[in-house]
Amino acid sequence: MQYNSIIFFIFIIASLLLYYITPVKYRNHFLLIINYAFYSYFDYRLTFLLIGITSVNYFIGEAVRKSRTDDAKKTYVVLGVVFNILILGFFKYFNFFIESAKGFVSILGWNINLDTLNIILPLGISFYIFQTLTFIFDNYYEFIEGKYTFFEFAVFASFFPTVVAGPIERASRLLPQIKNDRQFSTENIKRGFALITTGMIRKVIIADSCGAIINHIFADPAYYKSIEVLIAVLLFTIQVYNDFAGYSSISRGVGMLFGFDIMINFKQPYFANSVSDFWRRWHISLSTWLRDYLFKPLQIKFRDLGNWGNALAIMITFILCGLWHGASWNFIIWGFLHGFFMSFAIMNKKFKDKLKSLITSPPILNLLQVISTLFLVTLANVFFRTTDINHASQIFGQIFSFSNSEFAFRFIKIFLAYSIVSFAFDYFEKRYNSDYFLAYIPAPIKYGFIISSWFLIFLLIFSSDKLPFLYGQF
């Protein structure tokens, strides 16, 4: 059930009406039903896998909570991590490792008879495994107060606004909201609707329109000229941001309609003045998850190595971050590049500070830092978007062919148009210090903008092919 589909709107309206008609003490029961109904719409068989992972993680998390010794807690944490890695490894990485092993031994002149399997990748498995793992980790770090029932945890694990593509909620943050009573609030409805509106504009009007151009060019880069391929790369930077930020805004908005406060996942990432600052603003639910549960333990482990230890912890974290995104060497290279950019900045801090001191104007310095950060992010995005290393090489090769195009000015105008609209949303979010800024805009302008936007959204939904959300594949 894609967010950019009519069936989704019917599902939300019907569920919302029944949800608030249902007595408060039974709302979690109803919520669990619609959670599983939403997930089962994609493939009901995979719902049993979700229930199985939910059950194992709950009982391991409870074992951690009840343990009286640190050694016992660590044992259960390791058990939980191993279980989830094995599940994720089988469904997401089994074929990748088989193909990689066959490719490696073929270089040595050997031949191994290993067959890949026809494995269905469960929708959102990377997201809900990371989300349920927080129950184990948060119990270990004692971030969770009190006991939660299996039923409450099942609602958390299958929570339909986040189960497919996040944001990756923490058990310590969302479980108390599930336990508490949630009353109808007109303010929540207004804010939720504002978030859904901005999310749909980002997805349907900006991201999908960019995606239609990008898909054509990336499918056959050799057919297009240098500037056209370059603009496609730049447009992908706009697409991937608005696609996923749009999804996250819709998720937050839907959660708010049902009385939940889902965490903010983006905070004007293209205003970042360094790659590390970028990751404080981009996919915040994942970056903070990696920071708290992976980077910090690694940083402690390597603390005797000083800056080298920090750099090593960053590299490991972001290579695994790349692998989390997909079973492909391209994703690993993408993660490696982000880790390398940040590690390089740490190891060359004195040189970086010396360069910064040469520019006396703070606004000019900030602008140069933002532009250089965007350049590095866009460079890495080529590997994120392409299917393999050869495909990435084709893209770079075509860009540096410096071939002329009679449509160059047209492509530049397209890029500038989508960039301006995209940055306008970030500007207003920053100005109002809120991602549901639409709720605060003066009434005549607000209603005119909302009505015209929804008219265009529905027009595009009915008249063009709907592109899936990019992060839905993870």
Catalytic residue (choose from 29, 216, 283, 325): 325
Phi, psi of 43 (to 5 degrees): -170, 105
Residues 164 and 211 in one domain: no
Residues 290 and 341 in one domain: yes
Cα 179 to Cα 55, 145, 155, 187, 272: the distances in Å are 18, 12, 10, 21, 37
Residue 135 lies in a domain: yes
The mean pLDDT of the chain is 91
Least confident of 37-46, 117-126, 421-430: 117-126
Count of H-run helices and E-run strands, the chain: 21, 0
Residues 159 and 236 in one domain: no
Q: What total number of domains does the chain contain?
A: 2
HSE (side-chain half, CA atoms, 13 Å) at 116 = 16
Taking alpha carbons only, the member of 225, 241, 262 closest to residue 374 is 241
**pLDDT for residue 361:** 83
Residues 198 and 58 in one domain: no
What distance in Å separates the CA atoms of residue 158 and residue 149, rounded to the nearest whole number? 14
Q: Which residues contact 16 (CB under 8 A, 6 or more apart)?
A: 257, 258
Residues 237 and 331 in one domain: yes
Residues 125 and 234 in one domain: no
Residue 343 lies in a domain: yes
Q: Is the pLDDT of residue 95 over 90?
A: no
Cα 421 to Cα 207, 264, 417, 463: the distances in Å are 11, 21, 6, 22
- State both tokens at 163: 């189960």
Residues 178 and 204 in one domain: no
User: What integer is the mean pLDDT of 321-326?
Assistant: 93
Residues 369 and 445 in one domain: yes
pLDDT band at 161 (very low <50, low <70, confident <90, very high): very high
Q: Is the pLDDT of residue 22 over 80?
A: yes
User: What integer is the mean pLDDT of 140-152?
Assistant: 93
**DSSP letters of 126-143?**
HHHHHHHHHHHHHHHTT-
**pLDDT for residue 109:** 65
Residue 1 lies in a domain: no
What distance in Å separates the CA atoms of residue 248 and residue 450, rounded to the nearest whole number? 19
Last residue of a domain, one of 157, 184, 211: 184
**pLDDT for residue 92:** 87
pTM of the model: 0.92
Q: Is the pLDDT of residue 428 over 80?
A: yes
What distance in Å separates the CA atoms of residue 199 and residue 462, rounded to the nearest whole number? 18
Q: Is the pLDDT of residue 396 over 80?
A: yes
pLDDT band at 316 (very low <50, low <70, confident <90, very high): very high
**pLDDT for residue 388:** 92
Residues 215 and 179 in one domain: no
Highest mean pLDDT: which range of 78-87, 107-116, 118-127: 78-87
Is 29 marked active-site? Answer: no
Residue 472 lies in a domain: no
Q: Is the pLDDT of residue 139 over 90?
A: yes
Residues 221 and 344 in one domain: yes
- pLDDT tens-place string over residues 113-125: 666 667 788 889 9
Report which of residues 104 and 32 the model is more confident about.
32
**pLDDT for residue 166:** 86
Residues 167 and 260 in one domain: no
Strands (E), 236-331: none
What distance in Å separates the CA atoms of residue 314 and residue 312, rounded to the nearest whole number? 5
Q: Is the pLDDT of residue 327 over 70?
A: yes
pLDDT cut 90: percent of the chain above it: 73
Residues belonging to the chain: 474
For residue 100, the enclosing domain spans: 6-184
Cβ–Cβ under 8 Å, residues 381 and 233: yes
Last residue of a domain, one of 128, 151, 184: 184
Residue 58 lies in a domain: yes
Residue 366 lies in a domain: yes
Last residue of a domain, one of 138, 156, 184: 184
**pLDDT for residue 348:** 85
End-to-end CA distance of the chain: 16
Residue 274 lies in a domain: yes
Q: Is the pLDDT of residue 144 over 90?
A: yes
Q: Is the pLDDT of residue 431 over 80?
A: yes
**pLDDT for residue 232:** 96
What distance in Å separates the CA atoms of residue 279 and residue 89, rounded to the nearest whole number? 25
- State both tokens at 124: 């959102």
The H-or-E segment that residue 44 falls in is helix 44-66
- pLDDT tens-place string over residues 406-415: 888 999 999 9
What distance in Å separates the CA atoms of residue 375 and residue 369, rounded to the nearest whole number? 10
Phi, psi of 67 (to 5 degrees): -65, 140
pLDDT band at 40 (very low <50, low <70, confident <90, very high): very high
pLDDT band at 359 (very low <50, low <70, confident <90, very high): confident
Residues 316 and 265 in one domain: yes
Classify the phi-psi angles of 254: left when phi > 0, otherwise alpha if psi is within -120 to 50, otherwise beta: alpha
- pLDDT tens-place string over residues 439-465: 888 888 888 989 999 999 999 888 877
User: Which letter does DSSP use for residue 473 in this model?
Assistant: G
User: What integer is the mean pLDDT of 88-105?
Assistant: 76
User: What integer is the mean pLDDT of 289-307?
Assistant: 93
**pLDDT for residue 115:** 65
What distance in Å separates the CA atoms of residue 131 and residue 289, rounded to the nearest whole number? 9
User: Which letter does DSSP use for residue 401 in this model?
Assistant: T
**pLDDT for residue 103:** 66
Taking alpha carbons only, the member of 120, 122, 100, 129 closest to residue 112 is 100
User: What integer is the mean pLDDT of 77-96?
Assistant: 90
Q: Is the pLDDT of residue 106 over 70?
A: no
3-state helix, strand, coil in the chain (%, to 5): 75, 0, 25
Residue 474 lies in a domain: no
**pLDDT for residue 5:** 86
